[in-house]
Chains A and B, each alone.
Chain A
């Protein structure tokens, strides 16, 4: 498997004005992980767990105090920052605050303009990217006439137009209504199928977590655990204690056990739980 990004013993502290340098709070503390090509990695943790700092280091908005951040097999530095960024797309939390263009197509073209892509190529890429996120019917729409979900899809198109190798979703769905969230997740799923895009999503949303290949759980600046969603949710209680949600089926299983119903496994999906209930309890 080809490595796309990795962190090696990364520590980061924000400069605080009041406190003396000795009691600096570590936003990230000895974080290491590797992201492979074609993988969907979900980064979870409650607010203040360090996951947004992690995102900032990954896109070179911050540089580590100690340790190393690698992207596309090279340490990220001032020298290769712009070139590295042209190979990845980032969608942020607030749909309004990242919409630079005055219309949908202008916004999608923004990164292409910055990278000096010729006009004809630009027109083609913009059209294709908008098709990929199903926003072709909105080329001339102004941002304030779009829903939050639509704006985020435009932001994804803006990233796709550059044909990136990595897409980072930094809480991209957290300000959306359920429908908007659904739209964005649908698009990401579709893109993974079509072009095998590598995705890092920093999120609270359980559905996103369940769709990921691997999950990185952050707590107090440290990597608490990393594994497949199945492996992570096995440790249900531990996750709850750091303020994270558990999937519906898992919560119901837990409640059933408490009221004396015997269950075989830990069920991640509704289907699994329905099947077990049916097989062992209702079909008798």
Chain B
């Protein structure tokens, strides 16, 4: 199950979206999240949805993988839709059966909110699918650099983030191994009462913590002997380069907002 999830994962590629500077992608996603709230009628939501499909096509991500990988989130979207459907009581009643009444406004809001949610999930997934975690970290660190003056530990945060990202696959493997070892010893995670199931997680969590702490200790030693003393006096191996196509991304964004402003009520 977990191995099929694609939210937050990166698939290397060479599409134009892959090759953009992480800063332009991050800025774009950040601004896009705000812009989504401009949409308030059928036309503007259609523009959003159309634009998202366009981005997915540009990134050359197979729709099949996207649908498959987003299944867990689809459940949430459907849930939101139903919530609005049953609990909004405005407008004309479209459908009535016993105590269930569906109003026009409920249907409208339900669909709109679901699209909003879907578009947000899709755009952020495109970001992570096309940008390696380390590039995202680099981008964030550079974008946040001005905040260093406000004593925000930008370098430390970025390093923490990049190390965590680096260790996610390692710890996932580890979890899988420990899980298998405990299953082989007859541990059972899928049956029993809630209390029993919670207890069954302990044999998994304790070794995982022990190993994570051991790794952290080793890593700290390795970093220290390789001369790590914090951000002071450090040079950077990774350099970001802002190109014309990155400026084009921001122009695209302005155009998108203009279109949205024009078609919205």
Residues of A within 8 A of B (CB): 59, 61, 82, 85-86, 90, 92, 94, 96-103, 105-106, 109-119, 122-123, 126, 142-144, 158
Secondary structure at the B interface, as helix, strand, loop or mixed, is: helix
Task: Collect the chain B residues with CB atoms within 8 Å of residue A126's CB.
Answer: 237
Q: Closest 6 A-B residue pairs measured CB to CB?
A: A97-B218, A109-B237, A98-B222, A114-B227, A102-B134, A144-B169
What's the Cα separation between A154 and B260 when bound, in Å? 50
Min CB–CB distance A93 → chain B (angstroms): 8
Q: For the A-B complex with A103-B134, A114-B227, A144-B170 known, give 4 more contacts whose Cβ atoms are closer than 8 Å.
A: A100-B166, A106-B238, A116-B235, A144-B169
Contact partner, A99, options B166, B224, B239, Cβ 8 Å: B166
Task: Collect the chain B residues with CB atoms within 8 Å of residue A106's CB.
Answer: 134, 237-238
**Contact status A59-B225, CB under 8 Å:** yes
What's the Cα separation between A90 and B227 when bound, in Å? 11
**Contact status A85-B237, CB under 8 Å:** no
What's the Cα separation between A167 and B232 when bound, in Å? 26
User: Which of B163, B222, B238, B239 is packed against the most chain A CB atoms within 10 Å?
Assistant: B222
Secondary structure at the A interface, as helix, strand, loop or mixed, is: helix
**Contact status B218-A143, CB under 8 Å:** no
**Contact status A122-B235, CB under 8 Å:** yes
What's the Cα separation between A259 and B214 when bound, in Å? 49
Q: A97-B215, A98-B218, A118-B235 are in contact. Are A111 and B134 (CB under 8 A)?
A: no
Interface CB pairs A-B, < 8 A, 24: A59-B225, A61-B221, A61-B224, A82-B227, A90-B222, A96-B170, A101-B166, A102-B133, A102-B134, A103-B134, A110-B228, A112-B237, A113-B235, A113-B236, A114-B226, A115-B227, A116-B233, A118-B235, A119-B239, A122-B237, A126-B237, A142-B166, A143-B170, A144-B173
**Contact status B239-A96, CB under 8 Å:** no
Chain A, Cβ-Cβ closest to B224: A61
Task: Collect the chain B residues with CB atoms within 8 Å of residue A82's CB.
Answer: 227, 229
Task: Collect the chain A residues with CB atoms within 8 Å of residue B221's CB.
Answer: 61, 92
Interface size on B, residues (CB 8 A): 30
Task: Collect the chain A residues with CB atoms within 8 Å of residue B170's CB.
Answer: 96, 143-144
Q: A96-B170, A122-B237, A126-B237 are in contact. Are A114 and B229 (CB under 8 A)?
A: yes
Q: A116-B234, A144-B170 are in contact. Are A86 and B227 (CB under 8 A)?
A: yes
| Cβ of B223 under 8 Å from chain A | yes
Task: Collect the chain B residues with CB atoms within 8 Å of residue A98's CB.
Answer: 218-219, 222
Contact partner, A100, options B214, B219, B233, Cβ 8 Å: B219
Min CB–CB distance B140 → chain A (angstroms): 14
- Residues of chain B in range 190-248 having any CB-CB distance to chain A below 8 Å: 214-215, 218-219, 221-229, 233-239
Min CB–CB distance A78 → chain B (angstroms): 13
Contact partner, A102, options B166, B218, B239, Cβ 8 Å: B166
Min CB–CB distance A212 → chain B (angstroms): 22
Task: Collect the chain B residues with CB atoms within 8 Å of residue A90's CB.
Answer: 222, 225-226
Contact partner, B228, options A103, A114, A119, A144, Cβ 8 Å: A114
Chain A, Cβ-Cβ closest to B215: A97
Chain A, Cβ-Cβ closest to B10: A142
| Cβ of B157 under 8 Å from chain A | no
Task: Collect the chain B residues with CB atoms within 8 Å of residue A103's CB.
Answer: 134
Min CB–CB distance B162 → chain A (angstroms): 6
Chain B, Cβ-Cβ closest to A99: B166
Chain A, Cβ-Cβ closest to B163: A100
**Contact status A92-B222, CB under 8 Å:** yes
What's the Cα separation between A115 and B228 when bound, in Å? 8
